[in-house]
Amino acid sequence: MRFFSPYFILSFLLAFGAATAAYSQTKGNLWLATGLQLQSGRDRGFSPMIYSGNRSFSLAAFGIESPHKTETFQFEFGYGPLTNRFGNSLNALSAGLLNYTFYHKESPAERGLHWGWSNQNVFNIRRHNGFTNYSLRYDYFTAIGPALRYTYPFEWKGQSFKWQTLAHWQVVGFQIKSGYIGADPEGLSEEKTGFGNLLRAVDPFFAGKEWSMGLESSLIWTLPTGNSLAIRYRPEISSLGGGQPVQRLGQAVLVMVTIRLW
């Protein structure tokens, strides 16, 4: 997993970049970022205790900026051990795809406030190291909601800088969670047919009962070559209700390079 994700993403981008390089009106960018995420979470299916720790966290994103809108496809990956305050531990892995679209028909793309929407898909899996049975639990959700972006460019000592904050709030979608005791979602094994089975395991995701929102604040230093180096701070929360509730809180600090593809 650790290895294949950036590999496949880059392969995809190589192919994708080649296909879209012909667009003359657009700009294509690639982001690569890596850093640490302080994650805290609770899964009632395991314990009433909070498990937290510093995980490694990386992301790779691809963005297309056309005159009227900006689209970003961001793949995220986090992995590491979390412990509770008595030293019990679990290993938590997250993989997600976070897509943004922002509209800037009336104002320049480089500056100001832009509205848009976002789509978030997150898969979380954790293995408890102290439990011999039912030690694996996971959850997944996909949801859409509004997004907001604020960009403020400035100069400092003759260099170009940019402050950018993105916010997203997931409103409606679907979720799948591990069952009351075991790893398989409730209802998954009742029938033998694959798809009917899957449908039984899917629950709705509604803002109010479920939550997922986050910010991405970046301080970006744009190089004369058009590439940039940046530091990003990325707080986020998520909470899935029903069955055994799952809550999570993450704060990642990342160093990031942006590569202008065209």
Q: Which of 15, 113, 172, 255 binds other proteins (CB under 8 A)?
A: 113
d(CA 224, CA 227): 7
d(CA 148, CA 161): 20
Radius of gyration of the chain (CA): 20
Q: Which of 20, 23, 36, 69 binds a second copy (CB under 8 A)?
A: 36
d(CA 119, CA 102): 12
Taking residues 186 to 225 in sequence order and writing x for each that binds a second copy by CB under 8 A, - otherwise, the string is -------------------------------------xxx
Residue 226: CB minimum distance to a second copy, A: 5
Residue 153: CB minimum distance to other proteins, A: 10
Residue 36: CB minimum distance to a second copy, A: 7
Question: If contact means CB under 5 to 8 A according to the sort of partner, which of a second copy, other proteins, none does residue 190 touch?
Answer: other proteins
Beta bridge partner(s), residue 122 = 96, 141
10-29 binders of a second copy (CB under 8 A): 10-11, 13-14, 17, 21
Q: Which of 20, 26, 32, 164 binds a second copy (CB under 8 A)?
A: 32
Q: What are the C-alpha distances in Å from 149 to residues 45, 70, 100, 119?
A: 36, 11, 10, 15
If the CB atoms of residues 200 and 260 are measured against a second copy, the closer one turns out to be 260
- DSSP at 3: T
> Which residue type, as a one-letter code, is found at position 144?
I
Q: Which of 10, 32, 38, 50 binds other proteins (CB under 8 A)?
A: 50
d(CA 118, CA 200): 26
d(CA 161, CA 153): 6
Question: Both ends of the chain: CA-CA distance in Å?
Answer: 29
Question: If contact means CB under 5 to 8 A according to the sort of partner, which of other proteins, a second copy, none does residue 186 touch?
Answer: other proteins
Taking residues 211 to 250 in sequence order and writing x for each that binds other proteins by CB under 8 A, - otherwise, the string is x-xxx-x-----------------x-xxx-------xxx-
- DSSP at 171: -
* Stretch in the footprint of other proteins (CB under 8 A) among 3-11, 41-49, 53-61, 69-77: 41-49
Beta bridge partner(s), residue 52 = 40, 83
Q: Is 96 a binder of other proteins (CB under 8 A)? A: no
